[in-house]
Structure formats: C-alpha cells, structure tokens
Amino acid sequence: MVLIVGFNLRTSIASFSPICRSLFLFPKYRSRIIRPVVLLEKPFDKHFYATDSNPLITGFPETSKNCPPSVAATKNRLLMNCTEFDDHGNVRVISGDFKKMDLCKQNGLLPRDLRKLNTSINSIVPVILVREGSILINLLHIRALIKANSVLLFDVYGSQHSHSQSQFIYELEGRLKQKSSDFGWLPYEMRALETILVSVVNTLDSELHVLHNLVSDLLADFELDINQERLRTLLIFSKRLSGFLKKATLIRDVLDELLEQDQDLAGMYLTERLKTGKPRDLDKHDEVELLLETYCKQVDEIVQQTDNLVGNIRSTEEICNIMLDANRNSLMLLGLKLSAMTLGLGFGAVVASLYGMNLQNGLENHPYAFYITTGSIFAFAAFLSSLGILKIRRLKRIQMALYHRCNLPISLDPRSLRPPYL
C-alpha cells in the first residue's frame, strides 16, 4: 500500500512514471511497506527522486548513484572513463571520469575527434589521428590519447578485450618507466606508440594462431568424411576468418595511409614540438617511419597468412561441392536406370493385363501359347531396359569440347601430358 498525503490534483500523472515502472518491473518491491511522505506545495517535481537521506521507496533499485536513468545516461555521454600516465610512466589516475569538453579544451581537440575514441560505440574501424600536440589511436582494444608527457588510456570495460587491455596497461607502465636510451633514444610518445603497436600485433597473432589450429584440424577431418556437422562448423570458421581478415586489413590500411602522409609523420614528434615550439621538418621523420613500417609489415604478414587460410577453406568448399555434385549425379543416373527398367517391366505388365481380361482369343487350347507369350514379354522388357541403360551410359561419355578442340588426351595422367623433351 502506498500512502501519499497532500497530493495535488494538478500534478501530472507522468511524474509518477519512474516509480510506477519500477513497481511493475520489480514485483518483489510491491509487498514492501513504504513510509508515508508529506508533500508540500509542489509534491512531485520532475527532478524529485529518492535519495539516501530521504528514501521514497525502501530497496528501490538504483540505476546510477542517486540519479534517475535519464540523468545517468546523460552523465555517461558527457564523461569518459580514462587511466592517465604521467611523464615518468606512473599511473596518475586509475579509471577516472574526465569531462569531454575539458579533454577537448586541454588537448586542442574537436568533439568529433573524441567520437573516434568513444568507448560506448562498438566500432571495428581503426583510427590514428595526428593533431597538434597529441596523437589519437583506436586500434582493436586500445583507445588512447598520446601527448608529449602523458598518456590517456580510455577504458573499455565489459568487452571481450578487457583482459587484453589490462595486460597492455602493465606493459605500457613498464615501458614508459624505462629510460629513452634503452629504446635507442626514442622520445616518450614513440615508446607509447610502439607499445600500442606491439600489443595490437600480438593480439592479432594470437588470434590467428588459434584460428589456424582450429581450421587446420577441421580441414584434416574433411579428408576422412564429409558430414553435416563438419560443414556447419566450416561455415562458422569461415565467417570468423572473414571478420578477422577484414579487421587486420583495416589496420594495415591505416598504417599504410599514415606512412604516405609526411605531415602527419613529422607531427608525431610531440616532445620536440613541446621543447622547441616548432613542428619538425617534413623530410625528417626517419625514426617514426621505420617504426611504422616494421609493424606494418608484420600486420601485412598476418593478413597474408589469413588470406591463405581463407583460400584453403574456399578450396575445401569447392572440393566438397564437387564431391556432392558427383554423388548427386550418381543418384540421378541410378534413378534413370531404375526408370528404364520400370519402363520394360511396365510394358510386360500391359501385355499380361491384356491376357488377364478372360476374353477368348483363340490361344486357349494352344499347347505352347503360354510359354511363347511369357518368353516374348520377358525378352521385350529386357530389350527396353537394356536400350534405356545404354542411352544413359552414353551420357556419361560426353567429353568437354576443350579436349576435342585442343586434341588433348582424355586421360589426365601426368605422363601423358609430359613434354617430349623431358
């Protein structure tokens, strides 16, 4: 029972909608006793919700802390969950909430740039954007903002890559804490970029290794038997490989496009720009170019291996289709042979039915009429059946026109196709 004192008739019924929906969706809360509430002049304003100090409903499930669902959704759209590393590689903030407008103002970004890093959008399109004083990266499970003295790593919790991202955080922290001399005097942003590329390549390589083992075992099983379950599994693996190939190809294309932009390559030297206040010359980007080319070749190798694996699956599918077509043709030929035999037996049945009408035909008293008639029926039925089977066998001997035009032997024996000089 709900007791409300001081209810105003002018109050809109829509103001009760959050409470009514909760009581409808959560029946166990209906039986709880709700304390009477004394409402004043404006009893139910649109911003009036239960709080810890004034709980309207005991045990009311909270969608966000002391916030209605609409307010919580708006809050999630305005904030981004990030982990920040300082210039020494130490974690400054762990899973902190950063306002998007503050991120844009502090890093000189546009709102559309942050949309590429939005963790609430499941996008497989990789992005590497070079801006003045920062580098935005969205590759697989990594969404980061690299600066000359800090790294913002956007959290992607609740996804299938959360474990990979957690492992990447430890690797990034360890690499950023090491001195630049250990990496060939690479600046801060290059060490962070290399760590991201290493994690991306390792993730692709491990996923390809798993798919390669599964597909290889399945293709080996097809040599023994072809059944419906294996064909269904092959279809599933083919879809997974196609998605993986597309993902790896997009990453390779992003790296290729970045290597073709001299201005972006020169703009990736953030430490030098911070110290001198001037951008690097467009023709002096050898370090970052070699870095990107190295990992671009590794990603390209993964793409080629995946493409070969997809080719093996397609070849297996074609062979399976050929074998199934051959079996289907064999069954059709068998059906035609049975039809020819049925034709001969049907003719014999027609003749036998004529004699079964019990009408006088003058052969009733002939001593050999039964044997002659029966033998004739069987002979003519066998002749019709044999004629039909011979016609069907001629269909199997039809050869491709290519063999006749090129005067090639019908036999595909390699010794018959060997050149005379070998």
**Element spanning 1, H or E:** none
For residue 139, the cross-strand partners are: 142
What pLDDT shows up at residue 116?
Answer: 74
On the question of pLDDT at 22 being above 50, the answer is: no
The pLDDT of residue 35: 40
More confident call, 249 vs 33: 249
338 pLDDT band, cuts 50/70/90, is confident
Give the residue, 389 or 44, on which the prediction is more confident.
389
Q: State residue 307's pLDDT score.
A: 94
Whether the pLDDT of residue 384 is over 70: the answer is yes
Q: How confident is the model at residue 66 (pLDDT cuts 50, 70, 90)?
A: very low
Give the range among 286-300, 339-353, 385-399 with minimum mean pLDDT. Answer: 385-399
Q: How confident is the model at residue 199 (pLDDT cuts 50, 70, 90)?
A: very high
User: For 260-285, where are the alpha helices, taking DSSP H only?
Assistant: 262-267, 270-276
**For position 397, what pLDDT does the model report?**
64
- Asked whether residue 3 carries a pLDDT value surpassing 70, the answer given is no
Q: Which of 10-14, 23-27, 135-139, 400-404 reaches the highest mean pLDDT?
A: 135-139
Give the model's confidence band at 294: pLDDT under 50 very low, under 70 low, under 90 confident, else very high: very high
Q: Which residues in 178-203 are b (16+ Cβ under 10 Å) and which e?
A: eeeeeeeebbbbbbbbbbbbbbbbeb
Give the per-residue pLDDT at 236: 92
Is 382 a residue whose pLDDT tops 90?
A: no
Give the list of residues 6+ apart from residue 77 with CB closer than 8 angstroms, or none.
Answer: 120
Instruction: Identify the weakest region by mean pLDDT among 7-21, 199-213, 264-278, 299-313.
Output: 7-21
pLDDT at 123: 63
CA atoms of 259 and 280, how far apart (whole Å): 16
**How much is the average pLDDT of 403-419?**
46
More confident residue, 398 or 368: 368
Q: What is the mean pLDDT of the chain?
A: 74
Q: Regarding predicted confidence, which is higher, 66 or 122?
A: 122
Residue 47 predicted with pLDDT over 50: no
Whether 399 shows a pLDDT value over 60: the answer reads no
Cα–Cα distances (Å) from 48 to 3, 21, 39, 61, 133, in that order, read 17, 16, 11, 16, 44
Range in 42-51, 290-299, 302-311 with the lowest mean pLDDT: 42-51
φ, ψ dihedrals at 241, nearest 5°: -65, -35
**Pair 79, 93: CB distance under 8 Å:** no
> What's the rounded Cα separation, in Å, for the pair 197 and 294?
10
Q: What is the pLDDT of residue 204?
A: 94
What is the mean pLDDT of the segment spanning 276-284? 79
Asked if pLDDT for residue 320 goes beyond 60, the answer is yes
- C-alpha 50: how far from chain center: 43
Q: What is the pLDDT of residue 162?
A: 65
pLDDT at 256: 94
